[in-house]
Amino acid sequence: MENPTKQLVSKFNELYIQTRSKYLVQFQNGKYITLSYAPDNKVTKFNDSMINTHLKGDLTYGVFAGGHFSKFITFDVDCANEGLSRWIALKLVLVLETEYEISRKDIHVSYSGGKGYHVDLFFTEQIKVEELKAFHRSVLVSVGSLPEGQIEFRPSWSQGVKIPLGVHQKTDNRCWFVDNETLEPLVEDASYDYLLSVEPMPAETITDTDFGLTDEQITEFETIVASTDITVNAVDLSKALQNAGRIIETGRLTASGTRHKTTFTLACFGNTQGWEEDETVGVIMDIMLATPREYFSEGSTPEYWLKEAERLVKYVFDNDITLKSSDKALTIYKSEILAVLSCGTFRQKQLAYAMLVTSKRYGNIFYLTVNTAMKMIGTTSRETVQNAIKKLVESGFITYHRKGELDKARSFEIGQVRYKPNKYKLAFEKPAEGEKAVQVTSNQSIIEVALMLCDVKEVRKYVKQYEFDNRWKAYVTG
């Protein structure tokens, strides 16, 4: 086979080229530089001639994803030990095949030219980079801890990846494709024939999202974004918190094609809230099972949702990933704090105040597990919390939005009776217009907030003498 050919160049364009305005060039010292085209500079856009140069081995090029979308993902196996790199690459391929049901013919491995490997997946449609990153994180959970090295995500807008079949400019090794079962190199014509045989797989293999955009529309979109402000790709964690609260209050997905993103967000939310892992999985499955089936892609099953929920929750909890808000100040009204002060013992008041803050931050309908409540009020007694919740219901501070509902699907899955987490809703009257109010943050206690809104005489109407002496007096006299 003649090398290079128009067919090879065309295949590179089909599979790898997302943006022509930004690319990598590797020189003989092995170092890369990034070149970015702009109308007012002398940088040339990435073009077919450069792919020809790459195939000849004169220079080596790499590509970037768009700022938001990519049509392929590379798992970059980076390890100083070549033998260990082989082991990691083979394990990664096995995980993709057995746990993600990706056919071997859709898993493409190439030699990096040094001591590592690139494992590529190509898709028929553009996928959001953030979703590809989430998929990458999920796969790493399944691969497990590595004795050395790492499996890096490529490409993004900020981190490019070398395209195969070129020459590593430092080692002078050709970056051939390799057999994905033995990692034996497919030399010369075998690698060229291999590249021409590659067919992208359906995007729904790893995502439920369909943006309905053509490649041309996405290219136009990426061009506009790149020329304005690429930082719009940054995650707004405050928005993620609000979204999690809205989904919990609604009780189901609020948009189609958001299963994976919602699962990860709720996993982070659960860890932020101090839920246990199985409780978090239960909340996620509760949301999924209550969502109309048309919100999911064809063939998406509850068994798969559960598997993904357990995998992502474990990853989030093992790595202690949380959603940090900006701790925006909340408005607390005097009638609300008086309702809190009416709730029995100090522990019960503490829990009532925690529920009030939770409802303001995440939504009027909210989950609260016993374990979370124990952490909220600083007790190790489940009985204290259970009694406090019972008292708050009896006093009319909260009502059950859902109580004691058997989780049939979860119970069947694990072979034990499991109940869905209870949901609560604030039940007292809303503040009147113009009522006295203060702005508070999470580091202010119930006592501090109460004394900002009420004088001591008002507080003592709701607080018994021993509670006042033990809990309040130091704040009043100090």
Instruction: Fill in the amino acid letter for 56.
Output: K
Helix/strand/coil for 459: helix
Does the pTM surpass 0.75? The reply is no
Q: With residue 271 as reference, give the H or E element that holds it.
A: helix 259-273
Residue matched to tokens 């501070």: 397
Other beta carbons within 10 angstroms of residue 462's beta carbon come to 19
Please give the Cα distance from 376 to 186 (Å, whole number): 60
In whole angstroms, how far apart are CA 392 and each of 245, 340, 351? 22, 9, 9
Phi/psi-derived region of residue 289, left when phi > 0, alpha when psi is between -120 and 50, beta in every other case: alpha
Count of CB atoms situated within 10 Å of the CB of 227: 11
Burial of residue 165 (CB within 10 Å: 0-12, 13-18, 19+) is buried
Q: What number does CATH give the domain 330-475?
A: 1.10.10
pLDDT for the residue 163: 97
426 vs 361: CA distance, rounded Å: 13
What pLDDT is recorded for position 369? 76
pLDDT at residue 73, rounded to an integer: 97
For every residue of 356-390, DSSP letters joined together read HHHHHHH-SEEE--HHHHHHHHT---HHHHHHHHH
Q: Are 153 and 133 in contact (CB under 8 A)?
A: yes
In angstroms, rounded to a whole number, what is the distance separating the alpha carbons of residues 439 and 331?
5
Tens digit of each residue's pLDDT, the chain (478 residues): 444 578 999 999 999 998 888 999 987 777 889 998 877 778 899 999 999 999 999 899 999 998 778 999 999 999 888 899 999 999 999 999 988 889 999 999 999 999 999 999 999 888 888 889 989 988 998 898 888 889 999 999 889 999 999 999 999 999 999 999 999 999 988 999 999 999 999 888 887 665 555 666 666 556 644 554 333 222 334 455 556 666 666 677 766 666 777 787 788 888 777 778 888 888 888 888 888 877 777 777 888 888 888 888 887 787 767 665 545 678 999 999 999 999 988 989 999 998 898 888 766 777 777 777 887 788 888 898 889 999 999 989 999 887 877 777 557 656 777 777 778 888 888 898 889 999 988 778 899 999 999 999 999 999 889 888 888 888 876 5
DSSP characters for 50-118?
HHHHHHHTSSEEEE---SSEEEEEEEEEE-S-HHHHHHHHHHHHHHHHHTS---GGG-EEEE-SSS-EE
Residue 428's pLDDT is 83
**Residue 293 burial (CB count, 10 A):** 8
Tokens representing 263? 């699962």
Instruction: Output the CA torsion sign for 303, 309, 310, 312.
Output: positive
CATH second-level architecture of 4-205? Alpha-Beta Complex (3.90)
Sign of the C-alpha dihedral computed for residues 460, 462, 466 and 468 taken in this order: negative
What ranges do the domains of the chain cover? 4-205, 215-319, 330-475
Let me know if the fold of 4-205 is the same as that of 330-475. no
User: What token pair was written down for 474?
Assistant: 């130091």
CA dist., res. 333 & res. 308, Å (int):
42
